[in-house]
Amino acid sequence: MYISEQEVRAVLKYEALIPAIRQALIDYSAGRVNQPQRMILRAGNADDLRNGWFAVMPVVAGDVMGVKTVTFYPGNDELGLPTHMAMIELLRRATGEPLALMDGRLITEMRTAAVSAVAFEALSPLHFATAPTSFGTVGSGVQAHAHIEALRHVWPALNDIRISSRNPTNAERLAAKTGARAVSVEEAAGADVVLTATTSPTPVLQGRWLAQNSLVLAVGASGSTLRELDDEAMLSSYVVAEARSPVERESGDVVLSGAKVQAEIGEILAGQNVAKIPREGRVVFKTVGMAIEDLTAARLVWEARGSNSQ
């Protein structure tokens, strides 16, 4: 069974994806997921930042297995193509039978935003004494749009949305589409909750711009030599990782700043380390993406696709 992106879009909804991702993160931290380190190969298509990469991400969890192959080509923006493209194969664990092959681009987009929504829902009441009222994005691409949509499911009062981008036209376009405001990066960074979702290899978020009690959702610039946050932003924050090992290995924000991961989100979701989340000071939630998240979303798609075809 091949499932196209159009079919994925028709059946994958945040109402089901967010709670499923929440459980997947708990299972990962509890050791119930077999997920080896992803293999990444450079494409060698260019000698500069346009050089793409190809990654293979296998995982076994529950009664299914899966593997995602994903490419990232930063230069695709200039060609009018997605920077990320992916395919996911879903298999039955008991027999090894292939269950479905599906386009993974939208799954990657949505599961990334769903992880941030889960983290926000868990961290916000522990960190903020009163409910946050503003959300700023640094970046105006597909992840910024997806995060606004996903966060609205767990943050119904979200209405002060600030969008900054190196391309003001893109910021204005996304602002018009989502009921937000296009602002300077400094104003976006001054929000209670800040998203960084760029492909920049150098910091785009300066710690001096952040509010003293902000929560930063850092989802872009995956790679040990790339970063979105400067040293001040990282070293002045309590760092929560999507998963310790991948973030400590693959996040330039952590590797290059020397910041320490102090908690894993799955542990917090399970009720561990809850008391350590600071009320005062900043919190950074750093993600690099995991195969278990793709497997979780792919299973939802396969189940929904199967029920819709009956």
158/78 same-domain check: no
19/88 same-domain check: yes
102/184 same-domain check: no
Higher pLDDT, 39 or 275: 39
**Structure-token match 């060698």, residue found:** 44
Question: Can you say whether the dihedral through the CA atoms of 171, 227, 77, 285 is positive or negative?
Answer: negative
pTM: 0.95
What's the pLDDT at 275?
78
The stretch 247-251 carries a mean pLDDT of 95
What's the pLDDT at 308?
57
pLDDT at 117 over 60: yes
Q: How many domains does the chain have?
A: 2
149/279 same-domain check: yes
Tell me the CATH number at 234.
Answer: 3.40.50.720
Provide the residue range defining the domain that includes 160: 116-286
297/279 same-domain check: no
Tell me the CATH number at 20.
Answer: 3.30.1780.10
pLDDT at 310 over 60: no
The stretch 80-108 carries a mean pLDDT of 95
pLDDT per position as a tens digit, 199-214: 888 999 999 999 999 9
